[in-house]
Structure 1
Amino acid sequence: MKPGALRIRVRTLLAVASLTVMAVSFPSAAAEQTPLPLRQSDGPTAMARARVAADVLMNSYEPDKAWFPSSWWNSAVALQTVGDYMERTGDRRYLGQLNNTFEKDKGVFPAGVLSGDPLLGNFTSRAIDDSEWWGLTWLQAYDLTRDPKYLNMAVTIADYVNGYWDTGTCGGGVWWDGERTYKNAIVNGLWIRLTAELHNRIPGDTLWLGRSRTAWAWFQGSGMINANGLVNDGLTNACTNNGQNVWSYNQGLAIGAGLELWRATRDPQILNSVRRLADAAIGPDALVTEGVLSETCDAADQTCDDNAKQFKGIFMRYWTDLVDTTHERRYAAFLDQQATNLWQNDRDAAGRFGTRWSGATNDDHPNVFDWRTQASALSALIGDVPTPTPLASLAATLSPAQPVVMPAASGVTSLPLALGASATGYFPLLAIASVDAPAGWNASPRASVLRLQPRGNALPVSTTQPLKVTVPAAATDGHHLVTVNLLAAGLRFTTQADVLVAHTIDFDTGTVNENPWLFDAGGSQSNGVQNRFADGNAHFTYRFPFPADTTSAHVTLTIDAEFLVQASTDNEHWTTVLQESQPVTDGSNKADRNVDLTPYLGAAADGSKPVYLKVSDAFPNDGWGGRVYHVTANIVE
C-alpha cells in the first residue's frame, strides 16, 4: 500500500468510528469524571492499566495447587490484591480462583507442600502473621461475594491468633510465631486490622471491637513507633524498640489498622494518629527516594528478598484506604505519583513490573520481575482507579510482547503478533488500531478496526487482531519497538512489543536479558542473577528461533543440581539431551554442558528454524531440580 493510500484509509476509519460514536451517544471521557476529581489520573486509562497488570499477575496462578508458586503468605497477599482489583473495578473474572484456593488449601498439609511450615488447617500455622494474612484475604472475598463461608473462616483464623495474645510479656501484643520468641509490628498491625474488619462485618459485635481497641492502645504505647513517627520492626527481649529497619509494610499496616478501627469507633484521636504515621512515611529520611516509594533493599547495591518484594504493595493498599477515607489531596497526589511512575519507568513490554519502582537496574543487582513484584505494583495501580468506577475502559496488549528475531543473511524474517483489545462499558465500540514499526520494517495491516460489545464491567470483552511484521536482514542487533495505538470514543491505550534482534545467544539467567528467550517459565523460579531453577513438576523452556539459513547449532548451559534437559522442534515432542543420573543437592556438579541442537532445527511459518529447550527436575520428589546460570550458543549459517 502506498503511503498516501494508507493516510486515506486511516482517515476513513476514523470517520467511520466517529459516526458510530455519535450514533450510540457514547459519553466522553470528561463526562465520566466527577467535578474536581480527587485523583488527577485519567480514570478509564487507570482502570485499563490495572486490568492489564492483574491479568499478567493471574497468569502465574497455579490452579492445581491453588496458589502462586512457592510462597504461602505472599500468595495470600497476591490473592487479596486480586480481590482489591475486582472490588475497585467491578471485574469479577477471578472469583473462581479465590474459591478454588479456599476449597483446595483449607486442609492440613505437611511442611514443604505449600509452606515451609506444616499447615494446621483453616489456613493456620506456627507463623502467626501468615495466618492473619489469610484472614484478611477471606474477608476481602466475603466483601466481594457475601458468602458466609469466607467470613466464618476469618473468624476461625482470628480465634486461633487470639491464642497468641499475651499480656505476660511486654504487657500485651500478639506473638509473631508459635514458639513465642518475638513481638513485632507486622503481626500486631495485622491483628488490629483483622479484628476491626471482623467487627465492621458482624452485626452487634462487641468482642472483636474490644480486642481491636486493646491492641491499638497497646501498639501505640509499645515503643515500636519511634520519635519520628516511623514503625521499626519490633521489640527487644527487654520490650523496647529494637531499632530494626522501617519496612514500608509495617508503616502501611499501622495506617490501615488505624483506619479500620476509626471506621468502627469514629474516634478522632485514632485518625490523628493515622495522619501522623502517614506524614512520617512520606517525610524526610523515611520511605521515599526522589519521589518514589522505596525499601532500603531497593538500593542499587542490594537485592530485596522474596518477602520484601511485596512490602510496597501492602503499603499502597492501605495508602489507598487513607486517600479514600480522608479525601486529602496531598495523599492522593502521592498515590498518583507512584502509579504514574510505575507505568512510565518500571514496566516492560509484557506489562510486568519490577521490584524497584524507579526502574533502576544494574548488572550485579538487577531490577527483578516476578509475580510478587507484579502484585505489589498492582496495588498502586488499583489505588489510582477513581471511585465511582469509570463507565468504560479500553486496554490493549501485544503477544508475544518480547519476541526474538534472528534474521537470515538475506531476505526478510516474518514476525507474527497478536493484538488483543479488551473493553468494559455499556455501549458498542469501534476501536481503531494503528501500527508504528521501525524504519525499514513493515507491518500488516497498518490500520484496522476492532469491534467490541461490552456488557458492563463484570466480564470485560475482548477480541484479537493478527498482525504480521517483517524484519529486514539488515536490522541491527538490539531492542526495537513495535507500537500499536488503540482509539475508541475518546478512550485511548498504547501497547508495544519489544522485539529483540539478535545474531548471537549469550545471557545470564535471572536477568532482563533472559526474558526474550524464556518461552515458558512453567512454574520455575529465579531468586537472583544467574539463577533459574525448576523443582518438582516445574520446568522452564527457552525458544531459540535460529535463522532460516542455519545449518548447525550448539548450545552451552552452565547447569547443576538434578537437571533433566529436553529438546524439541515444536514444543510438543521432546527428546532428552542431558540428564543427571544421581541425586545432587549441593551444586557440586555445576559445569558447562554442550548440546548439539542441529537435529532439532525446525521449520516455522516465519522462516526461522526454532528449537525449544526445556529444563526440569530429574528427581521431582526431593526439590532440587535443574538450575541454569548462563546460556550461550554457537550458530553456523
Structure 2
Amino acid sequence: MTMSRRTLIALSAATLPALGAASVAHAAPPGSPHSGGEQALARARVAADVLLDDYDENKAWFPSSWWNSAVALQTIGDYMLRSGDRRYLGRLDHTFERNKGPFPAGELSGDELYGNFTSRAIDDSGWWALTWITTYDLTEDQKYLDMAVTIGEFMNDFWDPSTCGGGIWWNEERTYKNAVTNGQWIRLTAELHNRIPEDTVWLERSQIAWDWYLASGMINEDGLLNDGLTDACENNGDHVYTYNQGLAVGAPLELWRATGDPQMLEQARYVADSALAEGALFADGILTEWTDVLGETTNDNHKQFKGIFLRYLMDLADTTGDDRYRDVVASQAATIWEQDRTIADRLGVRWAGASTQASPNVFDWRTQASALSALIADVPIGGVDRSLSASLAPVPVVMPDGEPRQLEVELQVAVTSRHARHVPVHLTAQGPDGWVVETEQKVQLDVPETDGRPVTARIPVQVTVPPDAADGNHLLAVSARAPGGLEFLARTAVVVARTIDFDAGTSEDAPWLFDAGGSGVTDEPGRFADGDSSFVYRFPFPAGTTSGELTVTISNQYLVDLGADGRTWTRVLAEDEPIRDASNRADHIVDLTPYLEGEDQDVYLKVSDAFPEDGWGGQVHHVSAEYGTD
C-alpha cells in the first residue's frame, strides 16, 4: 500500500444522538446466531447506498485513496453478487474506462500510475486485479478478465526466487516481501486459473507461490500472519493485521477450488480458526484490529483491513456451511448495526462502537466499505425472497428567525421480491416534542418479479421546526412496515444553529456541506479539494439578515468563491504560489453582505484548487461568521 499525502479521518458520531435498542429494532442483538435474511439484505442495501454517496463521478473513484478505492469497489461488487441488485454495474465500468490509463503522481495516487491500474506499489495493483475479477464474475465481460491478466503479468515480474527463495516484492524498489502481496498473489493466480479455460500457467504460479508462502515463516506458531519478512528472510514479528489473516484464508480456499486438494481447505480452516481463538483477533466476539483499541490511532490503510477478513471468512462459511463461521459473521453484522452506526447510517472503524473524546470512533467511506463487508456476509448465500428498507435524506441546517420553519425531507422506501406482488408499506413518522412531522400513512409499491433490484418510492415528509427549537441535533424517524413482519426504521437529524463556528473536516462541518464534491478530510483537522474537485458550504442565514462577515482559516493552493445561489460565483480569495506545506495558513475575512440579496438569504462558499495539476488544493481548517439582522 502507499500512504496518501494526507492522513484522512472521518466524521465522529459524538455529535449525533446515540443509537439505542429502540432505534434499531430491526437489528438482531449482538451475539444472536442469525439475523433474518430480509433484515440483513436491507441493512446491506442501505449501507451500500451510503458508501456510493462518496463515489466521485468525475474521477470515477473514491476520493484521495487509490488502493482503498479498489477494495471499496470490490465490496460493491460483492454486494451485487450477493444481493442480485445490479444497480451499480455502471459505476464499476465507469471506473474501469475512466482510470485504465496512465496518470501522473498526485492525480489519483501519490504514486505515478503506469496504466492498466499498475504502479510502483505492487499490492495496490493486486487489489485492482481482484476487483476486476469480481466485475468479470458479475458481467462475464472479457475485458475485465483480460485486465486482471494484464495486472497479474505485471505482478509476476516481481516474483524473485533470488531473495528468500521466492515471493513477490511489495514495491518496485524491491525492499520488502510481505504477507499482503503474496496472499493476494496466490488468491489472484488461483482465481485466474479457475476462470481461464485449459489454463496451466496460472495454476502452476499459484501452487509455487503457495508452497513458498507456507514455508516462508510468516505464519507463526499460533497460526497468525505477521506482516512480513526481515532482510534475513525471517518472520519479522510485526503486527498481525486482519487483512493478512483474511488473505491467508482466501488464498488456499481458491486453490482448493482449483485442485480439489483437501489439505488446502483444511489450511483455510486452520488460519480462520486461529484468528477466532480467544485473545487472537477477536475481543468479546468482535473482530478488532490492534489499532481499534482505545488510545491507539488508526490510519487510512487500517480502516479497511477487517472488511477484507470478512470477505474471505464469508467465502469459507459459504464453502463449508459451517455454522461456527456463520455465527461469527452474524455477530459482527448485528453489533455493527447496533453499536457502530451513526444516525446517517455511517459505519465506523470500531465495530464494537467504543468512542471517547480523546480517542473517538472514526467514520468515513473506508470504514463504511469495511463494515459493509460484514453486512454482506450476513446475507444468506441463496439470497432472500423479499426485503424492505427505508432512508431519510440529509437535512440542511436550520438557522431560526423567530418564525416556524417548514422543511420537506425525502423518504426513500425500497422493496425487493422474487415474485410479482403489490406491497403496501405503512409509515409512521416521529419527531421531537413540539415539532410537527407528517407523511403519508401508506404507500403501495408494485413489485415485478426481479432478481434483486429494488423498487423504490420517494415520499415527502413535512417537518415544522418550532421557532424556539434549541440549538443542536434533533432526531427525525419514520418507521416503515410491510406484511410478513418486514420493518425498517429510517432516521435523520435536523441541526438547529444560531451561530456559525466549526472546524472543517470534522463532524461539525458535515451539516453545512452543500456539496462535498470529491473533497477529502484530514486529521489536522481540515477539508481539502485537489485537482478538479471542489466543495461548497451553505450558510442559510435567518430572514432579515442584512450584513455578514465570514472568517475562513485556509492554507495551500486555494481558490475561494462566494455566491447567492450555489451556481454563479465571484472570486474572493486566491493563492498565486504553489504552496504545499500549509505555510500560508491564515485567517481571511470576507464580506458576505453583497450575497444576502437572495429571497432565502443563503450564502454559498466554494473552495477549489488554484494549481489543479499537482494535487495540493485549498484546505479549510476553520469557519466562523457573524451577521446582523433588521
Is the TM-score greater than 0.5?
A: yes
CA positional deviation for 1:483 = 0.5
Q: Which amino acid aligns with 1:547?
A: P
Once the two structures are superposed, what CA deviation does each residue of 1:411-470 show, in whole Å capped at 9, x if it has no partner?
311222011112221322221111011110001236342434344134322121112101
Alpha carbons of structure 1 residues 615 and 64: separation in structure 2 relative to 1, 3 Å: closer
1:158-173 to 2 correspondence within 5 Å? Answer: 158-173=152-167
Alpha carbons of structure 1 residues 627 and 112: separation in structure 2 relative to 1, 3 Å: closer
Q: Which amino acid aligns with 1:564?
A: L
Q: Give 1:573's aligned residue.
A: 568
| Residue number among 354, 359, 362 corresponding to 1:360 in the alignment | 354
| Residue number among 408, 430, 434 corresponding to 1:436 in the alignment | 430
Q: Give 2:413's aligned residue.
A: 421
Q: Give 1:406's aligned residue.
A: 399
Q: Give 2:557's aligned residue.
A: 562
Q: Give 1:395's aligned residue.
A: 389
Alpha carbons of structure 1 residues 574 and 454: separation in structure 2 relative to 1, 3 Å: farther
| Residue number among 39, 46, 49 corresponding to 1:55 in the alignment | 49
Q: Give 2:378's aligned residue.
A: 384
Q: Residues of 1 paired with 2:151 and 2:560: CA distance?
A: 43
Q: Give 2:234's aligned residue.
A: 240
Q: Residues of 2 paired with 1:579 and 1:592: CA distance?
A: 13
2:126 counterpart SS class: helix
Alpha carbons of structure 1 residues 164 and 620: separation in structure 2 relative to 1, 3 Å: closer
CA positional deviation for 1:363 = 4.1
Q: Residues of 1 paired with 2:191 and 2:353: CA distance?
A: 35
Question: Is the counterpart of residue 600 in structure 1 residue 595 in structure 2?
Answer: yes
Q: Residues of 2 paired with 1:345 and 1:548: CA distance?
A: 39
Q: Which amino acid aligns with 1:66?
A: A
Question: Is the counterpart of residue 509 in structure 1 residue 504 in structure 2?
Answer: yes
1:67-466 to 2 correspondence within 5 Å? Answer: 67-400=61-394, 402-408=395-401, 410-425=402-417, 426=419, 427-445=421-439, 447-466=441-460
Tell me if the contact between 2:561 and 2:569 (Cα under 8 Å) persists in the aligned partners: yes
1:553 counterpart SS class: strand
Alpha carbons of structure 1 residues 561 and 365: separation in structure 2 relative to 1, 3 Å: farther
1:5-24 to 2 correspondence within 5 Å? Answer: none
Gaps of 5+ in 1: 1-37
Q: Residues of 2 paired with 1:631 and 1:593: CA distance?
A: 10
1:479-518 to 2 correspondence within 5 Å? Answer: 479-490=473-484, 491-518=486-513
Q: Residues of 2 paired with 1:603 and 1:415: CA distance?
A: 18
| Residue number among 533, 541, 547 corresponding to 1:538 in the alignment | 533
Tell me if the contact between 1:570 and 1:602 (Cα under 8 Å) persists in the aligned partners: no
CA positional deviation for 1:589 = 1.6
Q: Give 1:626's aligned residue.
A: 618
Q: Give 1:8's aligned residue.
A: none
Q: Give 2:40's aligned residue.
A: 46
Q: Residues of 2 paired with 1:177 and 1:615: CA distance?
A: 35
Alpha carbons of structure 1 residues 104 and 579: separation in structure 2 relative to 1, 3 Å: closer
Once the two structures are superposed, what CA deviation does each residue of 1:304-359 show, in whole Å capped at 9, x if it has no partner?
22222211111111111121112222221111111112212222233222222233
Tell me if the contact between 1:56 and 1:352 (Cα under 8 Å) persists in the aligned partners: yes
Once the two structures are superposed, what CA deviation does each residue of 1:188-219 show, in whole Å capped at 9, x if it has no partner?
10011011111222233333222222212211
Tell me if the contact between 1:452 and 1:463 (Cα under 8 Å) persists in the aligned partners: no
1:405 counterpart SS class: coil
Alpha carbons of structure 1 residues 488 and 603: separation in structure 2 relative to 1, 3 Å: farther
Q: Residues of 1 paired with 2:359 and 2:587: CA distance?
A: 24
Q: How many residues were matched structurally?
A: 595
Tell me if the contact between 1:255 and 1:319 (Cα under 8 Å) persists in the aligned partners: yes
Once the two structures are superposed, what CA deviation does each residue of 1:250-308 show, in whole Å capped at 9, x if it has no partner?
11111111211122223232222222211222223322233332222223333322222
Q: Residues of 2 paired with 1:117 and 1:539: CA distance?
A: 22
Gaps of 5+ in 2: 1-31
Q: Residues of 2 paired with 1:123 and 1:415: CA distance?
A: 45
1:622 counterpart SS class: coil
- Choose 76-85 or 64-73, whichever is displaced more: 64-73
Q: Residues of 1 paired with 2:303 and 2:328: CA distance?
A: 20
Tell me if the contact between 1:423 and 1:454 (Cα under 8 Å) persists in the aligned partners: no
CA positional deviation for 1:602 = 5.9
2:316 counterpart SS class: helix
Q: Residues of 2 paired with 1:157 and 1:255: CA distance?
A: 22
Once the two structures are superposed, what CA deviation does each residue of 1:510-554 show, in whole Å capped at 9, x if it has no partner?
222222122211111112151211112111111222223434333
Q: Residues of 1 paired with 2:133 and 2:585: CA distance?
A: 47
Once the two structures are superposed, what CA deviation does each residue of 1:594-622 show, in whole Å capped at 9, x if it has no partner?
22323323656xxx632221111223233
Q: Residues of 2 paired with 1:582 and 1:238: CA distance?
A: 47
Q: Which amino acid aligns with 1:87?
A: L
Q: Residues of 2 paired with 1:226 and 1:535: CA distance?
A: 43
Q: Residues of 2 paired with 1:582 and 1:201: CA distance?
A: 52
Tell me if the contact between 1:173 and 1:188 (Cα under 8 Å) persists in the aligned partners: yes
Q: Residues of 1 paired with 2:76 and 2:442: CA distance?
A: 33
Tell me if the contact between 1:90 and 1:458 (Cα under 8 Å) persists in the aligned partners: yes
Q: Which amino acid aligns with 1:611?
A: V
- Choose 478-487 or 303-312, whichever is displaced more: 303-312
Q: Residues of 1 paired with 2:428 and 2:580: CA distance?
A: 52
- Choose 509-518 or 318-327, whichever is displaced more: 509-518
2:119 counterpart SS class: coil
Q: Residues of 2 paired with 1:377 and 1:627: CA distance?
A: 29
Q: Which amino acid aligns with 1:256?
A: G
Q: Give 2:9's aligned residue.
A: none
Q: Give 2:542's aligned residue.
A: 547
Q: Which amino acid aligns with 1:54?
A: A
Tell me if the contact between 2:107 and 2:613 (Cα under 8 Å) persists in the aligned partners: no
Q: Give 2:19's aligned residue.
A: none
Question: Is the counterpart of residue 611 in structure 1 residue 606 in structure 2?
Answer: no
Tell me if the contact between 2:229 and 2:235 (Cα under 8 Å) persists in the aligned partners: yes
